Amino acid sequence: MATLRIRNFAHMAEVSIGLGDLTILVGPQGTGKSLALQWLKVALDGRQLVSALRDAGQNVSNPAFLIDLLFGVGMGAAWHNGATNVEFDRKAILLGNIGRLGNGKERVFFIPAHRAMLISDGWAAPFQKLTAETPAVARLFSQNLFDRFSAKDGSELFPLDRVLKREYRDLIDDAVFHGGKVGVEEDPQHAKRLRLSHGSAQLPFMTWTAGQREFTPLLLGLYHLLPPRKFLKQPDIEYVVIEEPEMGLHPQAVTVFMLLVLDLLWRGYKVVLSTHSPLVLTVAWMLRRMQETKAPWKLICDAFGVGTSAPLKKVAEAALRAKVRTHLLRFESDRRVHSKDVSTLDPESEDDDVSGWGGLAGFSSQFADAVRKAVNQAAAK
């Protein structure tokens, strides 16, 4: 099991993330979950990132300025010479060596948070059109969307029967698009833009619901990972990183997304998520409990409300073999961020961080306790 360790970067004092088949990062906002995930990308794809920046005309020769280019303008100050240390799989990442990390092929496919902002006008910008204020991982993802929109077969984006299993298409349609079709259409000025079609109505991107705007780039990113059916996965990609998949989504859509995550695990990808959603952790807890109890694969299908076809049997069986890890990032008494492994997610644990799922379940308990006290006080009058 590979481990990512970060010391003294930004407000992170000591962060250690052991990576399983499915790894989930939780913690309050501002604790550096996104920075940690970006370091995973740098560790495995530094050569690809630096090459993309160089091709876009960026000056990558200054190591200190490179941090700004990778993580966004202003982040150069987060690296403290002589104090910052980043390691992946026990190998140190040296600031002057980032451009030589990896083989130049993409090993980490990164779907960033705020992905809808990359296509706010209904079209994605290529890498070089985005400024250095945008982290490099977001610029790469925008390029991926731009390439998909620009492809000859990019006019139809959902539903695509040759990419998604029928069960997935039906669930996505019920949860997100409700009979609508997503594609690229020309507007009256002959500019191509994303459209959601409902019968004769052609809806531009900014008129879609927030959930549709958030789910569409997420789905299109997943398309990149689902090659033609004779191949299970993209051969070079090992890790899939997805930030805050729940953004703007109803729990029904989050559930569909987590089923797609199980499909990625079956295909052989390792998936790393950051989340503020208790539902995502509910799935992680369910998988661990079903593994512990040696539950039959059909119960996985039951949990997601899908049939027990042969393809879904393979997905469910793979889910029951997956190693699931959950890590909490949080500020401690030194006002710096530390990490903690809370993978068991045991509701009966005496450790509040474990039983409270890194804080995501604790707030519901607080409200329930308040209601209980109110009921007891009312009964006592």
Average pLDDT over residues 82-108: 95
Higher pLDDT, 372 or 6: 6
Specify burial of residue 49 (Cβ count, 10 A radius: 0-12, 13-18, 19+).
buried
What pLDDT, on a 0 to 100 scale, did the predictor assign at position 365?
A: 65
pLDDT band at residue 381, thresholds of 50, 70 and 90? Answer: confident
What pLDDT, on a 0 to 100 scale, did the predictor assign at position 22?
A: 98
What pLDDT, on a 0 to 100 scale, did the predictor assign at position 346?
A: 94
- Contact between 272 and 4 under an 8 Å Cβ cutoff? The reply is no
Q: What is the pLDDT of residues 156-186, one digit of tens each?
A: 899 988 888 899 999 999 999 999 999 998 7
What pLDDT, on a 0 to 100 scale, did the predictor assign at position 121?
A: 85
Average pLDDT over residues 352-363: 86
Helices 63-71, 33-55: axis angle to 10 degrees equals 110
The answer for residues whose C-beta is within 8 angstroms of residue 291's C-beta and 6 or more apart is: 320, 321
What pLDDT, on a 0 to 100 scale, did the predictor assign at position 368?
A: 66
- Taking the CA atoms of residue 107, residue 109, residue 113 and residue 116 in that order, the dihedral angle to the nearest 10 degrees is 150
pLDDT band at residue 313, thresholds of 50, 70 and 90? Answer: very high
CA distance 184 to 331: 44
Give 204-212's long-range contacts (Cβ < 8 A, gap of 24+).
204/122, 205/119, 205/120, 205/121, 205/122, 206/120, 206/121, 206/122, 210/116, 210/248, 211/176, 211/248, 211/249, 211/250, 211/253, 212/176, 212/177
pTM: 0.94
pLDDT band at residue 190, thresholds of 50, 70 and 90? Answer: low
Average pLDDT over residues 77-83: 93
Q: Is the pLDDT of residue 279 over 80?
A: yes
Domain ranges of the chain: 3-151+230-345
What pLDDT, on a 0 to 100 scale, did the predictor assign at position 192?
A: 83
What pLDDT, on a 0 to 100 scale, did the predictor assign at position 155?
A: 79
What pLDDT, on a 0 to 100 scale, did the predictor assign at position 31?
A: 97
Average pLDDT over residues 355-370: 76
- Contact between 320 and 17 under an 8 Å Cβ cutoff? The reply is no
CA distance 172 to 293: 30
What pLDDT, on a 0 to 100 scale, did the predictor assign at position 196?
A: 95
Average pLDDT over residues 68-82: 94
Backbone angles phi, psi at 82, to 5 degrees: 85, -15
CATH number of 3-151+230-345: 3.40.50
Report the chain's mean pLDDT, rounded to a whole number. Answer: 93
Percent of the chain scoring above 70 in pLDDT: 97
Average pLDDT over residues 227-253: 93
DSSP 142-158: HHHHHHHHHSTTTTEEE
Q: What is the pLDDT of residues 326-347, one digit of tens each?
A: 999 999 999 999 999 999 999 9
The answer for residues whose C-beta is within 8 angstroms of residue 348's C-beta and 6 or more apart is: 355
Q: What is the pLDDT of residues 119-156, one digit of tens each?
A: 988 999 999 999 989 999 999 999 999 999 888 766 78
What pLDDT, on a 0 to 100 scale, did the predictor assign at position 200?
A: 84
What pLDDT, on a 0 to 100 scale, did the predictor assign at position 25?
A: 98
CA distance 144 to 224: 8
User: Looking up tokens 């329930």, which residue turns up?
Assistant: 368
